[in-house]
Amino acid sequence: MTHKRKRSEASSLKVSERSIPQDTKDSSFGFSCRDRLRKIYSAHPKIFVLICLGLGGILLYNNCIHNQFVFDDFDLILNNMRIQSIKNIPSILGLATFRYPYRPLRELSYAIDYQFTGLNPVGFHLFNIVYHLLSSYFVFLIAFLLSKDRKVGLITALLFIAHPIQTESVTYISGRRDILTSLFFFMGFYFFLRLRESPSKKYFILVFLSYVLSLLSKEMGVTLPAIILLYDLLWPAQKNPEQGSFSQSLKRILSLGKETLKRNGFFYLGLFLIALFFTFYKVVIRNPSHQEGFYGGTMASNFLTVIRIWVFYLQLLILPLSQNVAHSFPLSKSLFELKTMFSVLFLFTLFVLLIKGLRKNTLYSFCGFWFFITLLPVSHIFPHHELLAEHYLYLPSFGFLLAIGLLSSEVFKQARWRPFVYGFLTALFLFYSSLTIHRNLVWKNGYTLWMDAASKSPDSPRVKLNLGNALMRKGEDERAVEIFKTLIQTDQKNHQAYNNLGVIYLERKEFDLAIEAFNKAILIRPRNADTYNNLAMALAMKGDLDTAIKSVEEAIRIRPRSDFYFNLAKFYEDKGMAREAITAYEKAVQSSPKFFDAYHHLGILYSRLELPREAIAVLEKALKINPDSGKTHFMLGVNFLKTKDKENAVRHLEKALQLTTNEKDRKAIESVLMRLRS
CATH number at 504 reads 1.25.40.10
- Give helix 299-318 / helix 397-412 axis angle, nearest 10°: 40
pLDDT tens sequence across 256-314:
777 777 888 889 999 999 999 999 888 887 777 767 789 988 999 999 999 999 999 99
Residue with the bigger pLDDT between 232 and 139: it is 139
User: Using alpha carbons only, what angle is made at residue 521 by residues 516 and 524, rounded to the nearest 5 degrees?
Assistant: 130
CA separation for the pair 323, 321 (Å, rounded): 6
Largest CA distance in the chain: 107
CA separation for the pair 661, 615 (Å, rounded): 24
Helix (H, G, I), strand (E, B) or coil at 45: helix
345 and 399 in a common domain: yes
391 and 483 in a common domain: no
253 and 326 in a common domain: yes
205 and 169 in a common domain: yes
List Cβ neighbours of 12 (8 Å cut-off, separation of 6 or more): none
Domain that holds residue 293: 44-79+120-442
Q: Please, are residues 619 and 632 in contact by the beta-carbon 8 Å criterion? A: yes
pLDDT tens sequence across 119-146:
999 999 999 999 999 999 999 999 999 9
Give the percent of the chain with pLDDT over 90.
Answer: 72
How many Cβ atoms sit within 10 Å of the Cβ of residue 366? 25
Mean pLDDT over residues 548-576, rounded?
95
596 and 539 in a common domain: no
306 and 246 in a common domain: yes
CA separation for the pair 105, 437 (Å, rounded): 28
Phi-psi region of 595 (alpha: psi -120 to 50; beta: other; left: phi over 0): beta
Give me the number of domains the chain comprises. Answer: 4
User: Using alpha carbons only, what angle is made at residue 120 by residues 119 and 124, rounded to the nearest 5 degrees?
Assistant: 90
Nearest one of 186, 107, 185 to 153, comparing CA atoms = 186
pLDDT tens sequence across 587-637:
999 988 889 999 999 999 999 999 999 999 999 999 999 999 999 999 999
345 and 244 in a common domain: yes
492 and 402 in a common domain: no
pTM to 2 decimals?
0.84
CA separation for the pair 555, 533 (Å, rounded): 6
User: Using alpha carbons only, what angle is made at residue 561 by residues 555 and 567, rounded to the nearest 5 degrees?
Assistant: 70
